Chain A
């Protein structure tokens, strides 16, 4: 009797693995749990819901012996929305764009300097330390917001999943160090702080700066979008120039 019920459940499990429901529902439920944990810890650095969700789902896949391909049958429906979400970045960019026309040239110069610094230093360091080409390329857009970074990585022949992890690590690190680091370098201008945070460590640093200053948050949001654009244009040229 027990063996029969077990066999039945096994077939249900096999059936569910061949469809999208399991991966989709698991992603949504784990995300719900992770965001509520994040609220309860008062948004502590270690409870970043993206990081927690990825870790929990990865462990679930490993212990149930589920392949990433089977999981992604459901996960792809969530990931698909990254495209329209990238386009949607135009809305907060517009809101900040109008108020920032005055400083358009300084913003562009600072952004280009930051974008090139981020890509070149990340690629050169990983190359020096002996990582293979795919890892070096996946590093190039690590300071860019995830949806754009993954697109850049894909187009350059990197590994988009790896880029997603690099972007996340960059954001968590940048969010932790940005304020003390600005103090150390005597960067007190809120506009410069926001622009640097958005360029160097995208949304996670911007979210941290927004807690200190609205101006910094607005410049951060502008920098996220513009840096994504600039890096999308420059990264392929830099990769070719550096010979990777």
Chain B
């Protein structure tokens, strides 16, 4: 598990270094994800410890969002001032994204459903 966790952290570290050195506006962990995906494709799948550690982390993913979400206590004034903009933008934009992605995919996808 420590080995697998180290692998995840090393991918993140390399991703962060590359993103900063190249000046790309992409979060380091996202590049780390691409790096790990490349390794998995090359290797033909994750070794069991990497699979288990990844699944273990992702099963608790919800918990990891909580501290950032609590930051809402500092943004309450924003939610109050811009309540209308937020209350309109989120549902409308979400419906548009669901509709556009689904329609395009249904038109283009080949083979069995």
Q: Which residues of A contact B (CB under 8 A)?
A: 23, 27-28, 30-31, 35, 49-50, 53-54, 57-58, 61-62, 68, 71-72, 75-76, 78-79, 81-94, 97, 102-103, 105-107, 109-111, 113-115, 117-118, 121-122, 125-126, 128-132, 134-135, 139, 142-143, 146-148, 150-152, 154-156, 159-162, 164-170, 173-174, 177-178, 181-182, 185, 187-193, 195-197, 199-201, 203, 205, 215, 223, 225, 228-229, 232-233, 236
Contact = CB atoms under 8 A, between A and B. Distances in A.
Interface in B67-110: 67-75, 78-79, 82, 84-86, 88-106, 108-110
Interface of B: 5, 8-9, 11-12, 15, 25-30, 32-37, 40-41, 45-46, 50-51, 53-55, 57-58, 61-75, 78-79, 82, 84-86, 88-106, 108-111, 113
20 contacts: A31-B63, A31-B66, A71-B67, A79-B67, A86-B29, A87-B33, A94-B37, A94-B45, A106-B104, A113-B104, A151-B28, A155-B27, A161-B69, A161-B72, A161-B75, A165-B75, A170-B93, A190-B113, A199-B97, A232-B30
Nearest to B89: A125
A202 to B, nearest CB: 10
